[in-house]
Amino acid sequence: MESAEEAPQREQLMDAIIRTKARLDQHEQALLQQQDSMARYRDDLLRHEQRLQLLDQTEAAQQLQPVLQPTPQLAPANPGPLHVETKLTAPQRYDGEPRGCRGFLTQCDLAFELQAITYSSERARIAYVITRLSGRALEWATPVWAKQGPVCATYRAFKTEMLLVFDQTTTGPDAARLLMTIRQDKRSVAEYAIAFRTLAEDSEWNDKALVTAFHHGLSDALKDGLASIGCPTELEPLIAHAVRLDTRIRERRRDQGSSPRPQAASSWSSQSYDDPEPMQLGGARLSAREKDQRMREGRCMYCGETGHRRGSCPELSGKGQVRPARGGL
């Protein structure tokens, strides 16, 4: 049995053990909390380190970017296209013939336009023109250049003076008056057309008036031929038709050895436009529609049959049996 003295000691020891255990529990609880805190601190530290590493990588990439990017190649300075001048054959020397003045100066103008570097100054252009002169033209230009007056100040002034002295090209009202009187006469239509176009360029007439004037100047044979196939209402088609028709007429005259008297002909007929008006048998004149139909079908303009032309029609020569003409439209 315990003595009276041992009982209080035992209780004191038990109390001490309980308090110590309680403190130990408190320390353990505090340690667990500290461990949790340390774990959280460790996690936070890891996240901060990761973020710092990412920032370091980003910063390093930004610093390296200018180095890694290729240096842009600077385009070489564009010196511009090399200007190569077109070399033209020098115009023939102009001797002062009135009708050749404008054409000569036109050739010079083309040289100055295509060789602008060579003839960049006014004096260079005037000098070039003078070097291409001869005869009366050179005799005129020599004292003009020697005086070095206003005429030699610019090429335009020199050109204007030269045209005033030598050019006699028909222009304006004079060209219009000549258009009313020009005729084909014995010329080919091609030659007549060249003369007509030359005047027409300076006449300021409209196309309708030019058509009337050109048709009026054609020979009667050509007028008849154009009437039979239809006359165009515009100048260029009219000239083209007239040239083709005139060529056929001249070829037929050469083939047939006929007289030089102009006569109209076409690819479908050997008869002359100077022959009498085509008729049906019995003396009735053919209508315009009947003539056109016979032309298209290749039928004789006299008897209306196929297989021959009017020039070899047996009815006209008194041979063969008379057959009634085919009716008109």
Question: pLDDT tens digits for 159-192?
Answer: 999 988 888 766 667 777 888 888 988 889 999 9
Residue ending a domain, choose from 111, 131, 166: 166
> Widest CA span of the chain, in angstroms?
191
Stronger pLDDT, 278 or 209, i.e. the higher one: 209
Residue 94: pLDDT band (50, 70, 90) is very high
Share above pLDDT 90 across residues of the chain, in percent, rounded to a whole number = 23
Per-residue pLDDT, 105: 94
CB 303 within 8 A of CB 313: yes
Share above pLDDT 70 across residues of the chain, in percent, rounded to a whole number = 74
Residue 243: pLDDT band (50, 70, 90) is very high
Distance CA 139, CA 127 (A): 14
Domain residues for 149? 98-166
In a domain, 87, yes or no: no
Q: Angle at the Cα of 135 (from 130 to 136), degrees rounded to 5?
A: 85
Residue 328 has pLDDT above 90, yes or no: no
Is residue 186 located within the same domain as residue 246? Answer: yes
Residue ending a domain, choose from 191, 224, 256: 256
Residue ending a domain, choose from 147, 166, 185: 166
Contacts 24+ apart (CB under 8 A), 288-291: 289/328, 289/329, 290/328, 290/329, 291/228
Stronger pLDDT, 246 or 176, i.e. the higher one: 246
Out of 46-55, 158-167, 304-313, pick the least confident: 304-313
Residue 126 has pLDDT above 90, yes or no: yes
| pTM, two decimal places | 0.40
Average pLDDT rounded to a whole number, residues 191-217 = 86
CB 280 within 8 A of CB 319: no
- Say which DSSP state 202 is in: T
In a domain, 151, yes or no: yes
In a domain, 48, yes or no: no
What does pLDDT average to over the chain?
A: 77
- Number of domains present in the structure of the chain: 3
For 137-154, write each residue's pLDDT tens digit: 999 999 999 999 899 999
In a domain, 88, yes or no: no
Per-residue pLDDT, 267: 41
Average pLDDT rounded to a whole number, residues 251-269 = 59
Distance CA 83, CA 68 (A): 42
Is residue 176 located within the same domain as residue 251? Answer: yes
How many Cα atoms sit within 13 Å of 217 on the Cβ side?
Answer: 27
